[in-house]
Amino acid sequence: MYDLIVVGGGPAGLTATIYALRKRLNVLMVSKDLGGKTQWNLALPWISDYQVIRGLEVVNKFKSELEYLDFARHMEAVEKITQDGDIFVVHTHGGGELQARAVIIATGTKQMTLKVPGEREFMMKGMCYSALSYAPLFIDRTTIVVGEGDLAMRSAAELSTIAQQVYVVCANDKALHTPMGEKVSSSPNVKILMGYEVAEIKGDDYARGIALKDPAGTLSELAADAIFIEKALIPNTQIVAGLVDMDEEGRIRVDCSCRTNIPGILAAGDATSGFAEQVLIAVGEGAKAALSAYEYLLPRL
């Protein structure tokens, strides 16, 4: 029986685990990998590493500590988490059952992909899924945003304040009738390509543009300095579906101490309803969730 199990090895999960170790909790991190999405870094021909805030120094420090402390990590996917009285049972992919008095969910999100030719080849080479992280690098550049929801409108709105030209490739106009959508449609440097579809991502060493299909099915090409696929971020929270409260997008609802509605289950990072997907935020939330778990566990230790 563990005091605490942390599910997820991204910035939130790594930080939570290290904090819990410092508090001398009997903690186990269960994850598919170490590092999570910090392994994804957008490469651009005109950008040097110092221009981007990646938070990698702290994440890599925690990661190498956990590589060394093998008793505190278990590399396997979690299938689901159940509750048995005051105890939580973490069911792993291979059929294992791990028990703990408290659990932190730090499983992040996965981005909806386009599944078109060139997407895999140019992923993180001029094409990526996080305008929030990289928009400030596009001063006077041309960018393409693909998507039709709030995420796409937010990304296009931010880029429109920085880039010279923003193209928005969207299947429908639903999100255009929101305040963010109205800002996007009224920006002079934004062109909305309504009803168009991306047929292919094109480039050389980096993505340089897209092949587009218009509503009549005619193909054309559009050049850009970067392409942002902003269709949706899907929280990896199925493992606690039905157990904790979630918002309409499947993010785990947490209070400002990273507590869910179930005492003993905490959550941190992109998988939660907290604001903004960024490494430093996930690191901070991981620390907060670990300290919150400690407060919960202290009378029970």
- The footprint of ligand FAD (CB under 6 A) covers 7-13, 30-33, 36-38, 40, 42, 52-55, 77-78, 106-108, 111, 128-130, 133, 236, 239, 269-271, 277-280, 282
Which is nearer to ligand FAD, 126 or 181 (by Cβ)?
Answer: 126
Q: Specify whether the CB–CB gap between 89 and 253 falls below 8 A.
A: no
The shares of helix, strand and coil residues in the chain, as percent rounded to the nearest 5, are 30, 30, 35
Q: Specify whether the CB–CB gap between 19 and 102 falls below 8 A.
A: no
Cβ atoms within 10 Å, residue 23 = 17
Question: What single DSSP character describes residue 284?
Answer: H
Least distance (Å) from ligand FAD to the CB of residue 167? 19
Give strand pairing partners of 246: 252
Least distance (Å) from ligand FAD to the CB of residue 254? 12
Least distance (Å) from ligand FAD to the CB of residue 30? 6
In sequence order, which ranges of the chain are alpha helices (DSSP H)? 11-22, 56-68, 119-122, 131-134, 150-160, 179-186, 279-297
Pairing relationship of beta strands 165-170 and 190-194 according to DSSP bridges: parallel
Best CA proximity match to 98, nearest among 236, 3, 240, 238: 3
Tokens standing for residue 267: 């959550």
Which is nearer to ligand FAD, 180 or 240 (by Cβ)?
Answer: 240
End-to-end Cα, the chain, rounded Å: 12
Which is nearer to ligand FAD, 192 or 239 (by Cβ)?
Answer: 239
Least distance (Å) from ligand FAD to the CB of residue 184? 21
Which is nearer to ligand FAD, 78 or 176 (by Cβ)?
Answer: 78
Which is nearer to ligand FAD, 3 or 285 (by Cβ)?
Answer: 285
Which is nearer to ligand FAD, 210 or 229 (by Cβ)?
Answer: 229
Least distance (Å) from ligand FAD to the CB of residue 128? 4
